Amino acid sequence: MKLRFLTTIVLLTLTGCEKTPTGRDQLALVPDPVMADMGARAFARMKQEGTTISDPDQRARVECVARRVLDEVESVYPGARVPEQWEVVVFDNATPNAFALPGGRIGIHAGILRVAEGPDQLAAIIGHEVGHLLADHGNERLTQKLGLRIALMLIGLFGEVENEQVLQVLGLGAKLGVTLPFSRAHEREADEMGQLLMAAAGFRPGESVALWQNMAEAGSGQPLEFLSTHPAHDTRIEHLRENLPAAQQRYEKAIPARCPAA
């Protein structure tokens, strides 16, 4: 009886199981409008608290690359759930970082513009962040956190069910550690998607590899936020190299992008 109740809850939970644009199974249960609203509010606060770059040349460089990459979302990932709007903002922050918030918000730190050489490498960064958003990684991460609470609640309710069993049903492998985010899988997916997007937009996909080589070099002397939360650059570079032929094929069909260099 109790077990049937558990099954019902688990089935309700799993109805949110979907596939990401690359075909990976995903549990992302938070409704899109809720995610978009959270992202919009967080972004508004960041813009209020931080300084955004108003230099028209720098903004024009970022906007040119962003527009081209975003224009290819439909062609590369037809049918993907696309945010209602996109907003790309450059923050006056020296840390070489970039981030994406639900609801189509992308923040670029001025510091990463100094590491990225030229429009192609900038396209790799923007493509990567767009990948995170198209694949709904924020929702997945939040669902994981909520899932953990649900799991703990169930364990409390069903003392006789093995803890590990409950966690496994909820997709939270005990061996992986419930607090471990999917960041590695997310990064890999965002890299792969970003590389295809930049290539379709007419930016040389091989520059994604060069970007990460630059990031590794820039990171040798100081701890970098973007690097510390991301997988080792060797692994990442290797993966980007593996996917390069597919991206190169797309690039050869695209019209080369002409965006202003720094």
- β-strand pairing of 87-91 with 17-19: unpaired
Q: Based on CB atoms, which residue is closest to Zn ion, 120 or 192?
A: 192
Q: How far is the CB of 218 from Zn ion (least distance, A)?
A: 16
Q: Based on CB atoms, which residue is closest to Zn ion, 61 or 132?
A: 132
List residues near Zn ion by CB under 5 A: 190
Full strand arrangement of the beta sheet holding 105-109? 87-91, 105-109, 98-101
- Amino acid in position 135: A
Q: Based on CB atoms, which residue is closest to Zn ion, 120 or 129?
A: 129
Number of other residues whose CB lies within 10 A of the CB of residue 53? 18
Q: Please answer whether residues 237 and 187 qualify as being in contact, where contact means their C-beta atoms are separated by less than 8 angstroms.
A: no
Q: How far is the CB of 98 from Zn ion (least distance, A)?
A: 8
Q: Based on CB atoms, which residue is closest to Zn ion, 116 or 190?
A: 190
Task: Report d(CA 162, CA 20) in Å as an integer.
Answer: 31
Q: DSSP strand E in 1-70: where?
A: 17-19, 25-27
Q: Which of 74, 71, 109 is nearest to 92 (CA)?
A: 109
Number of other residues whose CB lies within 10 A of the CB of residue 173? 12
Task: Report d(CA 110, CA 125) in Å as an integer.
Answer: 12
Active-site amino acid positions: 129
Q: Which is it for the CA torsion 73, 77, 83, 88, positive or negative?
A: negative
Q: Based on CB atoms, which residue is closest to Zn ion, 125 or 257?
A: 125
Q: How far is the CB of 93 from Zn ion (least distance, A)?
A: 16
Q: How far is the CB of 181 from Zn ion (least distance, A)?
A: 11
SS3 label, residue 89:
strand
Q: Based on CB atoms, which residue is closest to Zn ion, 122 or 151?
A: 122
Q: How far is the CB of 128 from Zn ion (least distance, A)?
A: 6
- Amino acid in position 185: A
Q: Please answer whether residues 241 and 148 qualify as being in contact, where contact means their C-beta atoms are separated by less than 8 angstroms.
A: no
Q: How far is the CB of 224 from Zn ion (least distance, A)?
A: 13
As separate numbers, helices (DSSP H) first and strands (DSSP E) second, the chain gives 12, 5
